[in-house]
């Protein structure tokens, strides 16, 4: 009852025709929105200082905290790894090797199949970009070649996480071995934003996969493919 009374009172004040109340409401809205006559030149200097401080803190945390933590969880790492935006999320057993000159978003998720018969292996080549919010789910093996570019929100689905049988799924059983397969991205592949690559797929050298595509079958080298499922659109050499 008290809540209803408060809401009714609030509405009466907002709809009041009284000039004094209207002025007070306008003043309160100005304060709420921060629309105050402040010296913008001063705040440009403050913003510059803010950016310098934040960039310095980001650099220090990346070099002395996030990157060493990441390297502690992988088997081998080449020189000049650039890990930005925090620490990737790790889940399950994983054997990870990273090549030289790689750039990996800290918002990446890397998982290994928990019921695998052997340690799931992720191999990342040299000069590889892995973008924001990408998920790499390693069933048995995922190999990412040299000079590969993976844009944001990509998904390499080496295993599904659940079985096809409804009763087994309801009981919390894992996927079957038949649902798991390797994924191979050969050298110079580019996955655009939001691409999903399913288990058992090989994408050939230099091929490009269009945004939001779902790759369910092998893609040959040197082509542009897109769609759901992804189909070859053109030969990049032509």
Catalytic residues: 162
Cβ-based neighbours of 83, under 8 Å, separated by 6 or more = 62, 66, 67, 70, 103, 104, 106
Q: Provide the edge-to-edge strand list for the sheet that holds 202-203.
A: 76-77, 95-98, 121-124, 141-144, 183-185, 202-203
Nearest of 116, 115, 155, 118 to residue 137 by alpha carbon: 155
Would strands 223-226 and 231-235 be described as parallel, antiparallel, or unpaired? antiparallel
Number of H helices and E strands in the chain, helices first, is 5, 20
128 token code pair: 């590889």
Dihedral-angle region of residue 221 (phi above 0 means left; psi in -120 to 50 means alpha; beta otherwise) = beta
Q: How far apart are the first and last CA of the chain?
A: 74
Q: What is the DSSP string of 196-232?
A: EEETT-EE-TT-EE-TT-EE-S-B-TTEEEETTTTEE
Torsion of CA 211, 67, 128, 153, to 10 degrees: -10
């Amino acid at each position: 009852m008290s809540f209803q009374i408060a809401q009714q009172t609030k509405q009466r004040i907002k709809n009041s025709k009284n000039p004094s109340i209207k002025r007070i409401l306008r003043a309160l809205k100005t304060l709420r929105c921060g629309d105050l006559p402040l010296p913008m030149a001063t705040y440009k200097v403050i913003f510059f200082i803010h950016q310098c401080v934040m960039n310095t803190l980001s650099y220090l945390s990346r070099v002395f905290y996030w990157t060493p933590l990441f390297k502690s969880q992988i088997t081998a790492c080449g020189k000049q790894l650039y890990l930005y935006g925090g620490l990737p999320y790790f889940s399950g057993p994983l054997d990870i090797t990273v090549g030289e000159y790689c750039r990996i978003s800290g918002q990446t998720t890397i998982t290994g199949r928990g019921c695998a018969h052997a340690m799931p292996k992720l191999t990342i080549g040299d000069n590889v970009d892995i973008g924001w919010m990408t998920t790499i789910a390693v069933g048995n093996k995922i190999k990412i070649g040299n000079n590969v570019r993976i844009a944001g929100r990509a998904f390499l689905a080496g295993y599904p996480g659940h079985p096809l049988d409804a009763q087994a799924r309801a009981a919390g059983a894992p996927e079957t071995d038949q649902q798991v397969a390797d994924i191979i991205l050969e050298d110079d592949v580019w996955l655009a934003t939001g691409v999903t690559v399913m288990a058992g797929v090989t994408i050939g050298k230099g091929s490009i996969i269009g945004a939001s595509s779902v790759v369910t079958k092998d893609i040959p080298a040197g082509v542009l493919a897109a769609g759901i499922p992804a189909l070859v659109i053109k030969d990049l050499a032509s």
